[in-house]
């Protein structure tokens, strides 16, 4: 199959917004640069800190996440002029330096109404020794625009790309063709990757990312459409290189 790279996306703060990139330098055995550098820990997870510092990767349950509070799915934004700018339909815009203590607290306060009072409170913006992706292995998520379009036709409504929090979007494949790539090598520009597994989805994808409100039962929709609750694939970079939007993708 020959296709092309349609989108490159990084998520500077886990769960909160995304940057669209024109190009990025991939490194063998590493995640997408700049992706999930930061995350918001809730109070119940602070026991995992060592002398106040996050010194190891932690699973997603330690952090604020869309599956636990759908309104977070409507946060948009990313880096702008050296600071992170975030928006939400029910909150004022906020701009912050994630390394500044005052700005960190301002972000915690900004998130409180979106996280809700029925959960362990939002507590700290942290940066770990490695990127805080959902998986502990250094992999990159790849999704298919043809599969998304086919799912949208199946449901009779648009879904968009924001809800899926992917790193790379590929166009030109047949719908669902990515399911047959497990264990195979793909190339994007000069970079080479081995596809390791499919991506199991959670209820965060139920949310309409324009409103942060529940839109549908996405897991049921995926089961009906594909027979599984998977959407997308994880790949490990084996040969690095600079990739760019519109690069050819070979599988």
Structure confidence by residue, pLDDT tens digits, 63-102: 999 999 999 999 999 999 999 999 999 999 999 999 999 9
CA angle 27, 32, 38 (to 5 degrees): 130
One domain for residues 244 and 173: yes
**Distance from C-alpha of 71 to C-alpha of 209, rounded to nearest angstrom:** 8
Per-residue pLDDT tens over the stretch 134-169:
999 999 999 999 999 999 999 999 999 999 999 999
CA distance 203 to 94: 26
Pair of tokens at residue 118: 């029925």
Q: Is the pLDDT of residue 1 over 70?
A: no
Q: How big is the CA angle at 98 (ends 94 and 100), to the nearest 5 degrees?
A: 100
Same domain, 88 and 144: no
Residue 52, Cβ neighbours under 10 Å: how many?
A: 8
Segment 13-59, tens digit of pLDDT: 999 999 999 999 999 999 999 999 999 999 999 999 999 899 999 99
Alpha-carbon distance of 160 to 65, in angstroms, equals: 19
Tokens of 74: 């409507």
Map tokens 């298919």 to a residue. 144
Instruction: Please state whether beta strands 230-239 and 38-42 pair in parallel, antiparallel, or not at all (unpaired).
Output: unpaired
Domain with 74, as residue range(s), is 38-127
State whether 103 and 219 are in the same domain. Answer: no
pLDDT grade for 2, boundaries at 50, 70 and 90: confident
CATH number of the domain that 222 lies in? 2.40.33.20
- Judgement on whether residues 22 and 142 belong to the same structural domain of the protein: yes
DSSP characters over 131-177: ---SSSS--EEEEEHHHHHHHHHHHTS---SGGG--SEEEESSPTTG
139 and 244 share one domain: yes
Residue ending a domain, choose from 100, 127, 154 = 127
Residues in contact with 99: Cβ distance below 8 Å, sequence separation at least 6, in sequence order? none
Q: Which of 127, 153, 182 is the last residue of a domain?
A: 127
Task: Record the tokens describing residue 213, joined without a space.
Answer: 């409100």
On whether both 62 and 183 belong to a single domain, the answer is: no
pLDDT in tens, 237-248: 999 999 999 999
Q: How many Cβ atoms from other residues are within 10 Å of residue 93's Cβ?
A: 10
| Total domains in the fold of the chain | 2
């Amino acid at each position: 199959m020959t296709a092309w790279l349609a989108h490159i996306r990084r998520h500077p703060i886990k769960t909160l917004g995304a940057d669209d990139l024109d190009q990025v330098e991939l490194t063998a055995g590493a995640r997408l640069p700049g992706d999930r550098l930061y995350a918001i820990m809730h109070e119940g997870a602070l026991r995992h800190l060592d002398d106040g510092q996050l010194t190891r990767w932690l699973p997603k349950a330690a952090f604020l996440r869309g599956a636990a509070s759908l309104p977070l799915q409507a946060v948009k934004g990313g880096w702008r002029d050296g600071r992170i700018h975030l928006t939400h339909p029910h909150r004022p815009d906020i701009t912050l330096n994630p390394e500044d203590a005052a700005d960190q607290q301002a972000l915690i306060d900004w998130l409180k109404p979106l996280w809700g009072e029925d959960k362990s409170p939002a507590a700290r913006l942290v940066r770990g020794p490695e990127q805080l992706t959902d998986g502990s292995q250094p992999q990159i998520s790849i999704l298919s625009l043809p599969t998304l379009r086919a799912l949208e036709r199946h449901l009779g409504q648009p879904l968009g790309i924001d809800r899926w929090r992917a790193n790379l979007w590929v166009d030109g494949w047949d719908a669902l063709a990515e399911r047959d790539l497990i264990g195979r090598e793909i190339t994007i520009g000069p970079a080479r990757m081995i596809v390791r597994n499919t991506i199991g989805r959670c209820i965060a994808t139920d949310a309409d990312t324009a409103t942060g409100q529940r839109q549908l039962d996405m897991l049921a929709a995926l089961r009906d459409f594909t027979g599984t609750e998977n959407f997308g694939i994880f790949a490990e970079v084996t040969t690095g290189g600079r990739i760019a939007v519109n690069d050819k993708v070979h599988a």
